[in-house]
């Protein structure tokens, strides 16, 4: 009887391990990975030594961004700019199919189902830094507008590096978690585009 019980337990453990392995394989197969350069808004040129990586699956998107040439002591945030239906974009810029003209604040009709959502932020150290963030499907917390990320495997995602100016001690938390807290002005300095 003991041998039969032990055999049953071993069988249950093996079946559970097979389920976990198959789930992990399925998740890896349904994920999309991309790496791209970071560019300057001023002229579209590539920021030396900078890159971003985007990983998407049905659960959402994760990003890592490394960049240089930022001002030490400045508050800097990263924003997800999402085009959920990029096939409807009509105002692509440079080699990219979607652009600012597809966003409602810049005259877009929002047929691309756009959204802008907070990704990450902190005060700069030596001008080189890393950010990481995750956005779950349908999460609109931190959104300036829109439905967030609707279909992570087909959306185009632009990551925007937004400089808020010199961090002020009494406003630092607001500056690194919001879009419009600026000292004295905010400026979009860099971007990285991931088309899927």
33-194 CATH choice from 2.60.40, 2.40.50, 3.60.21, 1.10.3470: 2.60.40
Q: Inform me whether the pLDDT recorded for 138 exceeds 80.
A: yes
Q: Which of 193, 175, 180 is nearest to 76 (CA)?
A: 175
pLDDT computed for residue 30 by the predictor: 83
Across residues 123-127, what is the average pLDDT? 87
Top pLDDT among 94 and 127 is at 94
What integer best gives the mean pLDDT of the chain? 89
| SS3 at position 61 | strand
- How many Cα atoms occupy the beta-carbon half-sphere of 79 within 13 Å? 27
Beta strands 114-123 and 60-67, pairing class: unpaired
pLDDT computed for residue 128 by the predictor: 80
Across residues 121-139, what is the average pLDDT? 93
Q: Which of 122, 120, 121, 124 is nearest to 73 (CA)?
A: 124
Residue 181's pLDDT band (boundaries 50, 70, 90)? very high
- Return the percentage of the chain with pLDDT > 90, whole number: 82
pLDDT computed for residue 56 by the predictor: 97
How far is the C-alpha of 164 from the C-alpha of 37, rounded, in Å?
22
Residue 112's pLDDT band (boundaries 50, 70, 90)? very high
How far is the C-alpha of 16 from the C-alpha of 21, rounded, in Å?
9
pLDDT computed for residue 127 by the predictor: 73
Give the model confidence (pLDDT) of 148-179 as tens digits: 999 999 999 999 999 999 999 999 999 999 99
Across residues 11-35, what is the average pLDDT? 55
Give the model confidence (pLDDT) of 74-103 as tens digits: 999 999 999 999 999 999 999 999 999 999
Predicted TM-score (pTM) of this structure: 0.85
Q: Inform me whether the pLDDT recorded for 5 exceeds 90.
A: no
Q: Which of 188, 193, 162 is nearest to 95 (CA)?
A: 193
pLDDT computed for residue 144 by the predictor: 98
How far is the C-alpha of 66 from the C-alpha of 41, rounded, in Å?
16
Run of H or E residues at 5: helix 2-29
How far is the C-alpha of 14 from the C-alpha of 19, rounded, in Å?
9
pLDDT computed for residue 2 by the predictor: 56
Is residue 188 a contact partner of residue 171, using CB atoms and an 8 Å limit?
no
CA-derived radius of gyration, the chain: 21
Q: Inform me whether the pLDDT recorded for 16 exceeds 80.
A: no
Across residues 41-50, what is the average pLDDT? 96
């Amino acid at each position: 009887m003991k041998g039969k019980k032990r055999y049953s337990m071993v069988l249950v453990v093996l079946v559970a391990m097979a389920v976990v392995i198959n789930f992990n394989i399925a998740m890896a197969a349904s994920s999309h990975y991309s790496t791209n350069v970071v560019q300057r808004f001023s002229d579209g040129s590539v920021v030396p030594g900078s890159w971003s990586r985007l990983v998407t699956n049905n659960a959402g998107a994760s990003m890592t961004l490394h960049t240089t040439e930022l001002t030490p002591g400045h508050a800097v945030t990263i924003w997800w700019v999402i085009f959920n239906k990029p096939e409807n974009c009509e105002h692509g810029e440079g080699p990219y199919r979607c652009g600012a003209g597809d966003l409602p604040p810049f005259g877009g009709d929002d047929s691309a189902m756009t959204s802008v959502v907070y990704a990450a932020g902190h005060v700069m150290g030596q001008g080189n830094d890393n950010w990481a963030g995750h956005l779950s499907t349908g999460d609109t917390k931190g959104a300036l507008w829109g439905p967030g990320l609707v279909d992570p495997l087909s959306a185009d995602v632009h990551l925007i590096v937004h400089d808020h100016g010199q961090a002020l001690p009494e406003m630092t938390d607001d500056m690194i978690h919001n879009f419009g807290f600026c000292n004295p002005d905010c400026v979009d300095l860099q971007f990285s585009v991931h088309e899927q």
